[in-house]
Chains A and B, each alone.
Chain A
Amino acid sequence: MRLSLGQREALWAYVFLAIPLAFFLYFRIFPTFQALGLSLYEWHADPGARKFVGLEHYERLLEDPLFRRALTNTFLYTLLGVPSQLFLGLAIALLLQRVKVARDFFRAVYFAPYVTPAVAVAWVWSWMLSPHFGLVNEILTLVGLPPQPFLQSPTQALPTVTWVVVWQNLGFQVVLFLAGLESIPRQYYEAARIDGGEGWRLFRHITWPLLNPVLVFSVVIATIGYLQLFTQVVNLNFTDQGGPLNSTLTLALYIYQLAFLRFQLGYAAAVTVVLFALIFLITLVQLRVFTRKVEL
C-alpha cells in the first residue's frame, strides 16, 4: 500500500507523539493505578510479604481526625486561595495594562516572586511575619495595632500561609490575564464606545466574557495547585510541619508524612487515591460550570 505525503506526515506525527504518550502512561497513569492497588495492602518492603487488607485503609480514613483535618484545611486553602489569586491577578493585570511608563519594569516586579524558589519565599516570609522581629508586626505597631502571632496562631496560620502562596502565584496569574487581555481585539472596545459603552459596562460585556478561556484555565490550574499544596506549608513551619496544632496540615503533606516518615505506604496510598478522586471530580465540575460559549 502506498501512503500519500499527507498520510506519511501524519504517521510520523503519531510516532513522535507516541513517545511522550508512552512516557506519560508509564510514569503518570500507571503509578496512579498502582497506588490504587497499594492502598489495599499493608505495606512491606518485600512485595511478597504485603498483606491484603481490602478496604481497611479506607475505613481507617473515616475515623482519622488528622485526615479529616487535612481534608478540611485543603478545602479552606482552595476556597481562600483561588478567588484571592484570581481577583488580585485580574485587578493587577487591568492596572498594568494601563501603565504606559516603565511597563516592563512593573511586569517584572510582579513576576519576580513566581520565579523565586518556594523554599526561599517561605523562609523570608517566616521572618517577615515573626511576632518579635518581623517587619509586618513592626508596621502594625507603628500604626498602633497590636502585634499578631500569624504563623504561630492556630487560627491565623492557615490564612497566613494562603497569603504567602497567593503572593507568590500572583505573578503567573497576572501574566496569564495580561495575555488574555491583549488578545481581545481593540475594535470591540472601539465599536462599543461609539455605541456609548463605558467603564464597567465594557468590562462586564466585553472583557469578562472574552477572558473566559483564560479564566477557566486559571481556575482549574489554581485549584489543582491549592489542592496539592505542600512546599510552602512544610517550610513556613519547618520543625512542626502542618502545625501549629495541625492548623496548616494539607492532604499532600499528610500523605508525605504517612508514607515517608511513618512508612505506612499502604495507608498513604489510600489518602492519595482520595486526593486524586477529589482533584479529578472538582476539575470536571469546574470545566462544566465555568466554560461558556461567547457570542458577541
Chain B
Amino acid sequence: MLQKRFLLVLSSLLGLSFAQTVTITYWQYEFKSKVEAVDELIRRFEAQNPGIRVVQQTFPYDAYQQKVAAAIPAGQGPDVVNLYYGWAPTWVKAGYLVPLPEEWSARVDREFVSMVQAVKIGEKVYGVPTAVRSLALFYNKDLFRQAGLSGPPRSWDEFLAAAKKLTVKQGGRFTQIGYGIAPDGQDHHLVREILVRQFGGRPYSEDGRKVLYLSEPGLKAFTFYTDWVRKHEIGVPNFFPGNNGYRDGFMAGRIGMIIDGSFAIGTIQQGARFSWGVAELPVERAGGRKANFGSFWMHGLTPLATGPKREAALKFLAFLTSEETQRYWLEKVGELPASKALIRDPKLSLDPIYGPFILSLGYAKATPFVDETAQRKVMVDAINRVILQGMDPAQSLRMAAEEEQKILDRFWR
C-alpha cells in the first residue's frame, strides 16, 4: 500500500517534469534474443519518436499468461502485449485485447502472408505479427547415410520406408527411432491441419465454427498417423522424456526425423553434433496437395492503452511490424518475416535451412483456435486413445469431433 502510494507520488513528479512524454509498456515472455532485439528496436523507435518512452517487461514463459491474467484487471499491465495467435480469441472474450482501428484490416490483407488472417476475430483485427513460423521435416543426414538413404522423403510412402530403416529395437525397447512421434509436440497440428488437407479433407468450416475432420479423408488421415505407432512401429511418444523430448532425441542422434517448427532452427543448430538437413513436408503422393501449419506471435493492444497512450501504442505497433523491423528480426532472432513481399526474396527461399519453411509459408494455414489449450488437448487425447489404449480410430476421432464442437459452440454462442 505504502509502496504504491510512493510510486504514485514518484510517477506524478516525473509526470510533471516530462509533461509531454508518454510512457507505454510492452510485455513479452523471456527469450534472450527476442528481449535483446526489442531493446534495440525500442532504442530506434524512441529516437524517431522523441515524445514516447517504451518500457519492456518480460516474464518466464510458464508464468506469462498468469501475469497477464492478473495484471490487466488490476490496471498495472502492458499497453502493447505479445501473445500466441491461438490465445487471441480467449483473450478477446475476456476483455484483454481491444480491436485495432479499421485501416489495419486492409493492411493485414495487403501486406501479410495469408495465415495472418487469423488475427481477425468477428471482422475485427486484434493484432499483427513481426514474424511467422511453419513446419518442416528435419532429418539426420548421418543416420540417413548409414541406412543407405540418399535424400529426404518426398511422399509419405518414402517417409515410412525411410523411418523403418532408421528404427532400431532391442528386446521390447527402442534404442533409435525413425520418427520422433510427439502428439503433444507438433503432431496434433500435423494431423489436424496437414494430413487431413493432404488426404482431401478440411479440418474446419470456412468460418471456423464447425468441425469437419470427422469425414472420410479425415479418418483416413487420422488412421494413417496413428498407424505409424501401432502398425509400422517407427516411433513412440516420449521416447525422450521432458519438454520437447522429440527435439532432444533428434539432437542426441537417436531419432532419424522430426517434424518441427522454424522456431526450432536455433536450438537444433546449437545442439546437433552431426550433419542434418531440412525438407518441405512430404505429401500424400508425388504431385499431391501441399499443406502446412502456420502460426505466429502477434502484438496486440490492451484496454490499458487509452488516450495519448493509445496513439503511442499504435505507433509502436506499426513500427514493430514494419518491413524494416521484420528484416532486423530475421537477422537477430532468426524468425521468418510475416510480410508477403519479404518472403519472395530468392535469397531466403533458396537457403538450405530457411528455404523449406519459406516455401511452405505461401500455403500454410493457421488453425482458427478459439480455446487453444482445450482444442490442443482434444487432438492429443484423440491420438493417445488410439496409440496408448488401442481404441478404434473411428471411435476416437468421433469423440474428438464432438468434444471440439462443444468447445466451438460454447465460444460462439
What is the interface of chain A, defined by CB distance below 8 A to chain B? 43-47, 49, 123, 126-127, 129-133, 137, 141, 146-147, 149, 151-154, 238-240, 243-246, 257, 259-265
Contact = CB atoms under 8 A, between A and B. Distances in A.
B96 A261 contact: no
Nearest to B171: A141
11 contacts: A45-B73, A126-B242, A130-B238, A130-B240, A132-B239, A239-B243, A243-B380, A245-B388, A246-B381, A260-B65, A262-B374
Given A240-B184, A240-B380, A246-B381, A44 B94 contact: yes
Contact of B95 (A49, A146, A260, A264): A49
B127 to A, nearest CB: 16
A263 B242 contact: no
B90 A262 contact: yes
Interface in B146-191: 171-175, 182-185
**Which secondary structure dominates chain A's binding surface?**
loop
B243 A238 contact: yes
B244 interface: yes
Contact of A239 (B96, B184, B389): B184
Given A132-B173, A239-B245, 19 more contacts: A45-B72, A45-B303, A46-B303, A47-B73, A126-B241, A130-B238, A130-B240, A147-B171, A152-B388, A240-B377, A240-B380, A240-B384, A244-B388, A245-B389, A262-B90, A263-B91, A263-B93, A264-B94, A265-B69
A45 B241 contact: no
Contacts of A127: 241-242
Contacts of B241: 126-127, 129-130, 151
B388 A154 contact: yes
Contacts of A239: 182, 184-185, 243-245
Nearest to B246: A239
B172 to A, nearest CB: 5
Interface string B73-104: 10000000000000000110111100000000
A147 B66 CA distance: 39
B150 to A, nearest CB: 29
A263 B69 contact: yes
A132 B180 CA distance: 14
A261 B373 contact: yes
A251 to B, nearest CB: 17
Contact of A257 (B93, B236, B373, B388): B373
A74 to B, nearest CB: 19
